[in-house]
Amino acid sequence: SKECGRGTFSYFDEKMNAKAAERLILHGGLRQALGRDELSLVYQPQVNLRTGRVFGAEALLRWTPRDGEPVSPSRFIPVAEESGLILPIGEYVIHEAFRQARRWCDAGLPIQVSINVSGIQIYRSDLVATLAAVQRDTGVAPDLIELELTESTLMEDVNAAREVLDALKRAGYGLAIDDFGTGYSSLAYLKRFPLNKLKIDRSFVTDVCSNAEDRAIARAVIQIARSLNHRVIAEGVETVEQAALLRRHGCNEAQGYLFGRPMAADELAGLLDAPATA
Ligand code: C2E
Ligand code: CA
Ligand code: CA
Ligand code: CA
């Protein structure tokens, strides 16, 4: 009925308003977050599935407003991207991740650090120059740094992305495709990017033991990586069974709660003395 239709409309309308209001509030808070020292990085271990050793860590951003609860990056990163705040925030992440790589190196723990890079940083900033300046300041060997980019980011403007990636590759950084399998990348383009690694998205890992389709996708990603001569890492590995299955199918590396949650840098250093599980 008409009334029902109107009701539905205003329901969506209100939901949209609520969403817009939330974004405004997040945006307001996020604008001050850097100056107020509310942002920090945590690190999640990455493990070699053959040796069981931790070789690297993904830097993950955390925001805890001074007078509030922590806000999840899946909520605030999109707001930061829409508003352009991802540029200063992304620079903070790069600085901090390099400084941490340097501290670990100085402590005799050469851990590779993976940094998430947003498309805005690729297309609307001089990422190559930013990294060069931070690299010079910190003296971190570029091969200790890996940059994670999503496939949808790269497909936005294949030619521009390729130019940036070629420069990053020449500078010596590792390049990984994040959340692989969830975007729409064309394999024809993919092979032209100078990549080192594909990262199997958690959505295919969660049920990899019980769901034949997810398993087929995970295996396909591993095959693609192998035929392109890239390494492959699985994210979201939570059980020994998942790790064993992925390893059996040729996956090189894994990351997930099984090996460790995202944690403070000092805590991660403590993990390195003991071999990881699985
Ligand atoms: P992502 O890059 O796919 O990161 C992996 C996410 O999965 C992280 O969520 C991590 O905590 C979570 N995770 C890791 N292992 C497991 C597991 O075994 N089980 C489950 N259920 N979850 C697991 P987080 O930290 O909330 O980050 C969410 C997203 O926010 C990231 O997804 C990334 O897209 C974005 N993000 C985080 N930090 C940054 C950053 O510094 N820059 C940019 N541009 N994006 C970031
Ligand atoms: Ca990532
Ligand atoms: Ca990911
Ligand atoms: Ca993911």
- pLDDT recorded at residue 1: 43
Q: Is the CB of 227 under 6 A from ligand 1?
A: no
Taking 3-state DSSP, the helix, strand and coil percentages for the chain, each rounded to the nearest 5, stand at 50, 20, 30
User: What distance in Å separates the CA atoms of residue 124 and residue 233, rounded to the nearest whole number?
Assistant: 28
Q: What residue owns the CA closest to ligand 1's atom 26? A: 73
Ligand approaching nearest to the C-alpha of 262? 1
Q: How far is CA 195 from CA 52, 55, 149, 251, in A?
A: 24, 19, 10, 16
Q: What residue owns the CA closest to ligand 1's atom 11? A: 262
CA-wise closest residue to 78 among 30, 14, 42: 30
User: What's the complex ipTM?
Assistant: 0.98
- pLDDT recorded at residue 2: 46
What is the value of pTM for the model shown? 0.93
Walk along the chain (278 residues) and give the pLDDT tens digit of each residue: 445 555 555 666 777 788 888 899 999 999 999 999 999 999 999 999 999 999 999 999 999 999 899 999 999 999 999 999 999 999 999 999 999 999 999 999 989 999 999 999 999 999 999 999 999 999 999 999 999 999 889 999 999 999 999 999 999 999 999 999 888 777 888 889 999 999 999 999 999 999 999 999 999 999 999 999 999 999 999 999 999 999 999 999 999 999 999 999 999 998 886 544 54
